[in-house]
Amino acid sequence: MKYLCQVWFDGAVLDAMTKEEKAEFDANSLNYDKDLAESGHMIVAQALQPPTSAVTVRVRSGETSVTDGPFAETKEALGGFILIEAKDLNEAIRIAAGIPLAKLGAIEVRPIHSFGKDA
């Protein structure tokens, strides 16, 4: 099964790190991604720009509105995602627990819904 691991964290925590701490953290994150790729679990991983770069799009009664920023104001924001392949939810949770940002924020693990005959 495929699972989306959404990486939620407070950007201020990363901003408070020293240059050395940030470099080590980035290296740990990239190494974990490499380990997931080598084990066959990784499908894709991407980091996102900060929430201030986001826009929220809504369509109501045929009218499109665009507002700056994320939908809700929260301390933690979606900072990235990893799409993985895992045999079941327990394995997906184990993989998510290894994501370095799990120690600073939260990882939401959600199964991918399959449409059609592959479901």
Confidence (pLDDT) at 70: 72
Residues 33-53 have pLDDT tens digits of 999 999 999 999 999 998 888
The pTM for the full model equals: 0.86
DSSP state of 118: G
Q: Which residues contact residue 110 at a Cβ distance below 8 angstroms, ignoring those fewer than 6 apart? A: 3, 4, 6
Q: What is the mean pLDDT of the chain?
A: 92
Q: Which domain holds residue 19?
A: 2-118
How far from chain centre, in Å, is Cα 51? 13
pLDDT score of 105 more than 80? yes
Domain harbouring 80, CATH code: 3.30.70.1060
- Number of domains into which the chain is organized: 1
Query: Which residues does residue 7 pair with via DSSP β-bridges, in sequence order?
Result: 80, 107
Sign of the CA dihedral running 35, 38, 44, 46: positive
What token pair was written down for 1? 């099964």
